[in-house]
Structure 1
Amino acid sequence: MRQFTYYEFFAGGGMVSAALGPRWRRLFANDIDPEKAAAFAANWGADGLLVRDVRAVTVADLPGRPDLVWASSPCQDLSLGGRGAGFAGARSAAFLPFWALVEALAADGRAPAIVAFENVYGALVSRGGADLRVVADAFRRAGYRFGAAVLDAAAFLPQSRPRLFVVGLRRDMAPPPGLAAAAPEPDRHPTALVAGLRTLLASGDAFLLAPPRPPARNIGLADLLQDDPPDAPWLPDAETARRLAMIAPRHRPALDAARAARGRVVAPLFRRTRVEAGVKVSRYEPRWDGLAGCLRTPAGGSSRQEILVFEHGRARMRLFSPRETARLMGLPDGYALPARRSAAFRLTGDGVAVPVVRWLRDTVFEPALEPAAAPLSRAPAV
C-alpha cells in the first residue's frame, strides 16, 4: 500500500497529524507557538518540526515533494468577532508568506499534489469578500483547480464549528468522481461563497466541494463530559444560583423544562454583554440543541464556555475542562495536553476538528492520490 507524505503548516498541537494516520508520513511541520510545538512533539515526535514564524521559513527548509500541504492559518483578523482587518492584519496575513512557500515549491519543481486551506467562516466575508478572492486567486495562479465548502464539525462531534475548507488539486491530477456539487447546497455553499467564486466557478477554475456526507453522528455532548474533573471543579450551589439568575429571560421556559426533566439535561453557556432598556447587562445564554458552542482561545470572560447540568432537579455549573475540549475536537484521551490550562485551551480552541480532516482524507485526499482516480466532470457555471 502506498504511503503518502505531507506538510502541516500552523500545526498547533498536530490535529491534522492525528487525523491522517499511519498511511501518511510527515515531512515537515511548522508553528510559531513553543507550547503548541511542545505538545506536537510530545504526541507526534519532533522529526521535521520547525518552531519558527512562517515568515522566516524558506523553501530550503522544506524537504522532499509532499502529496499534501495543509494550512490552518491564523484566524483572528478574519473572525466575525474580530476587528475585520483580514489579510491586512498582522496575524491573518501569515497566509501570504505561507503561499509564497507553495509557489516556491512549484518553482523548484516540487509542487504538491494537493493544497488544503482551512479557516473560520468569517474568511468568506472579511473585507467585503476581498480575502476570499485573495485565496481563490492564489490557488488559480499556482496551477490548482480548487473546491471550496463550509463544513461543520457538528456532523461528527457535538460542537458547532463551521469552517471554510479550500482544497486545491494540481491540474495534472485526475480527481475522484462526484467531488463537485451540481448546484449549491445551502449548508455547505452559502451565498457569500458562491458569490465570491462566481467567475472562477464559471471558468471551471473552481468548484463547489461536496464530499459524501458522513453517517449520522452517534455521540452527544453528555457522552464527552467528565464526572468531576479536578481542573474544572463544580461551582458552589450559591454561585450557580447567582449565575442562573443571569440567564436571559427568553431562556426561562427551557430552563424550567430542564429543571423538571427526569433525566440529565446538559447545556453549554457563554456569558454575553447585552443592552436592555439602554443599559449594558451581563447575561448567560445557554444553547439547548445538544451542541457545545464553537471552542475559542481564552481571551476573556466571553470566550469562556461553561457547562450547565440539570440532574434530578439539581443544577450544577462549571467550566469545560481541558480534556473535554480535546474530546470536542476529536482528540483521543491519550493525547498529551499542555500542563497549563490556558495553554491547553489555546491549543484546542485554535485547532481543526480531527474527524473533519479524517473525512476529507477518506473522501478527497486518498482517492485523488490513488492511480485509479477517475476524472471529475466540469463544475456547472453558477
Structure 2
Amino acid sequence: MSATRTSAAPAPAGIVDGPIAVAEFFAGIGLMAAGLEPLGFHVAWANDIEQAKQDLYVANRPRSAEAFHLGDVRNAQGSDLPAAVELATASFPCIDLSLAGNRKGLAGEQSGMFWEFARVLREMGPARPRVVLLENVHGFATSHGGKDLREALETMGELGYSCDVIAVNARHFVPQSRPRMFVIGIAGDLPKGAHLGVPPISSARPEWVRGVHEANADLRMHHMELPELPDGPADLGAVVQKMAPDDDRWWDAERLERFTASLRPLHVERLQQLRDAGATAWRTAYRRTRDGATTWEIRADGIAGCLRTTGGGSSKQALVEVKRGRARVRWMTALEYARLMGAGDYRTKARTDNQAMFGFGDAVVVDVIGWIGQHYLVPALRPSVS
C-alpha cells in the first residue's frame, strides 16, 4: 500500500529548495558530509570525541569548524542542536556489533552509544529532525539474535519514526568490499515511493534484509522504492598511487622474501597465476595468524577488502603489484585509502599517516552516502525535487 506524499514548494529538478540542515553524530573525518553536501545538505551541527578526526574534518571543510563540537556524545543535550535540523545521521561505533568484535551488542560500551543518540533525539521533542539515517555493520541485524536491532527499531518508533532497512556494499561504487546496513527513519507522512508491508528482494534489500522487515513487521516499518545498485569497478587501477620502482615504500628483497615464504599453497598459486598472465595487476593482502603462525593471504579478486581502523595485525592491507612477471609489495598509502572511500581529493595530511588511515577505516564511503542521499533522503525531504 502506498503512503501519503509530503507537500513541498516546487524546485528545479536536482536542486533542493534551500539547504537541508544536518546534525552529524559520530561525525568522524567528515565523509558523511562529503556525500551529502553536493546534494544541497548543510552540516549545522557535528560531534565526535576524537581530536585527530576533528582535525581532518575541519581541514577539509573549514566552513564547518564552528559547527563541530568535540566531546563525548553523553554530554550532548537536545537543546544544543539547532532547531532547523531536518536530518540526523549516526554512524555509531560498530565494535560491539561486528562479527570480529566482542558481540556485546547495544549493551556494549561503544555500540551502546546508539542509546545516547536516541536520548538526544528524545530531548529535542517536537524539534527533532524529520529524517534519521543510521549506519553500521551487518552484525547489527544479527546481534543477540536480532533483538538489538528490534529494540533500536522500537525506540525509533516511539520517537515517531517509521523505519526502513537497506544494505549497500561499497563495491558497487568503489573497488572495496565494504558491506554496510542503513536504517532510515521518517517522521510524519511518508513520501511518494514509500510503501508499507514487506519489500520485494532487490540489490539493496537481499533476502536477509527482507527477513529483517518480516521479523519486525509489527513495528512502524516501511520501504522506499529504489533503483538497482550500479555495477562497480572490478580492479584497483584507478586507486593505486603510482610510484617509481626504487621508491623506498616498496619492501626490500629480504622483506619480500619473508612475505612470499609465508604464503600458503593457495596463495602461492594466486601469485604465480598473476605472474604467468604477464599483464600489470594489483591485489591486496592481509596478514593473518593461522595455526599459531603468521601468514599473508592474497585476495582472490581485484578489489580491496574492507578497510579497517589501523591497529596492526590484519587491520592493515598491503598492495601486491605484479608487472611483467615481477612482484612488488608495500603497505597501502593514505591516498589509496582515501580513493577507496570515494574521497580521492581529500586532504589526508594528519599528524601521522596512520591517523588519516584510522579515520578512513572508521568512515562511510562518500559514493554510497551520495546514492542514498539522491534516491532516498532528498525525495523524503524535498519530494518536489525528485
Q: Partner residue of 2:72?
A: 53
Residues 181 and 222 from structure 1, CA distance in 2 versus in 1: closer, same or farther, beyond 3 angstroms?
Answer: farther
**Number of corresponding residues:** 366
Q: Partner residue of 1:18?
A: 34
Offset, 1:188 = 3.3
SS in 2 for 1:21: helix
Q: Partner residue of 2:243?
A: 228
229-238 or 239-248: which moved more?
A: 229-238
- CA–CA distance in structure 2, aligned partners of residues 232 and 323 of structure 1: 17
The one-letter code matched in structure 2 to 1:227 is: K
Q: Partner residue of 2:300?
A: 288
Q: Partner residue of 1:139?
A: 156
Q: How does 1:193-272 map to 2 (within 5 A)?
A: 193-201=209-217, 203=218, 205-208=220-223, 211-218=226-233, 220-228=235-243, 233-272=249-288
The one-letter code matched in structure 2 to 1:256 is: Q
Q: Partner residue of 1:98?
A: 117
Residues 179 and 128 from structure 1, CA distance in 2 versus in 1: closer, same or farther, beyond 3 angstroms?
Answer: closer
- CA–CA distance in structure 1, aligned partners of residues 383 and 240 of structure 2: 43
Q: Partner residue of 1:340?
A: 352
1:94-135 alpha-carbon deviations (Å, 9 max, x no partner):
111111111222x2x212111000001111112222221122
* 1:76 counterpart (78, 95, 100): 95
SS in 1 for 2:66: coil
Residues 60 and 182 from structure 1, CA distance in 2 versus in 1: closer, same or farther, beyond 3 angstroms?
Answer: closer
- CA–CA distance in structure 2, aligned partners of residues 198 and 244 of structure 1: 48
- CA–CA distance in structure 2, aligned partners of residues 145 and 51 of structure 1: 30
Preserved contact between residue 306 and residue 319 of structure 1 (Cα < 8 Å) = yes
Cα RMSD for the two superposed structures: 2.4
Preserved contact between residue 181 and residue 209 of structure 1 (Cα < 8 Å) = no
The one-letter code matched in structure 1 to 2:21 is: T
SS in 1 for 2:281: strand
Q: Partner residue of 2:25?
A: 9
TM-score normalized by structure 2? 0.88
Does 2:83 correspond to 1:64? Answer: yes
1:156-211 alpha-carbon deviations (Å, 9 max, x no partner):
000000001001111334243579874234773343x444443432x472235662
12-21 or 282-291: which moved more?
A: 282-291
Preserved contact between residue 173 and residue 368 of structure 2 (Cα < 8 Å) = yes
Offset, 1:332 = 2.9
Q: Partner residue of 1:148?
A: 165
- CA–CA distance in structure 2, aligned partners of residues 303 and 80 of structure 1: 14
Residues 157 and 179 from structure 1, CA distance in 2 versus in 1: closer, same or farther, beyond 3 angstroms?
Answer: farther
- CA–CA distance in structure 1, aligned partners of residues 380 and 212 of structure 2: 26
Q: Which runs of 5+ in 2 are unaligned?
A: 1-16
- CA–CA distance in structure 1, aligned partners of residues 70 and 162 of structure 2: 31
1:11-56 alpha-carbon deviations (Å, 9 max, x no partner):
0111111111251121100000011011111111202110010000
The one-letter code matched in structure 1 to 2:359 is: L
Preserved contact between residue 167 and residue 205 of structure 2 (Cα < 8 Å) = yes
- CA–CA distance in structure 1, aligned partners of residues 81 and 139 of structure 2: 30
- CA–CA distance in structure 2, aligned partners of residues 96 and 315 of structure 1: 49
Does 2:374 correspond to 1:362? Answer: yes
33-42 or 336-345: which moved more?
A: 336-345
Preserved contact between residue 78 and residue 84 of structure 1 (Cα < 8 Å) = yes
Residues 59 and 178 from structure 1, CA distance in 2 versus in 1: closer, same or farther, beyond 3 angstroms?
Answer: closer
Q: Which runs of 5+ in 1 are unaligned?
A: 375-382
Residues 180 and 197 from structure 1, CA distance in 2 versus in 1: closer, same or farther, beyond 3 angstroms?
Answer: closer
The one-letter code matched in structure 1 to 2:33 is: S
* 2:205 counterpart (184, 188, 195): 188
The one-letter code matched in structure 2 to 1:217 is: G
Offset, 1:232 = 8.0
- CA–CA distance in structure 1, aligned partners of residues 240 and 68 of structure 2: 32
SS in 2 for 1:224: coil
Offset, 1:309 = 0.8
Preserved contact between residue 270 and residue 298 of structure 2 (Cα < 8 Å) = no
TM-score normalized by structure 1? 0.89
Residues 252 and 179 from structure 1, CA distance in 2 versus in 1: closer, same or farther, beyond 3 angstroms?
Answer: farther
Q: Partner residue of 2:5?
A: none
The one-letter code matched in structure 2 to 1:303 is: S
Residues 127 and 199 from structure 1, CA distance in 2 versus in 1: closer, same or farther, beyond 3 angstroms?
Answer: closer
Preserved contact between residue 198 and residue 214 of structure 2 (Cα < 8 Å) = no
* 1:301 counterpart (310, 313, 328): 313
8-17 or 241-250: which moved more?
A: 241-250
1:347-374 alpha-carbon deviations (Å, 9 max, x no partner):
0000001100000111001111124389
* 2:342 counterpart (321, 330, 333): 330
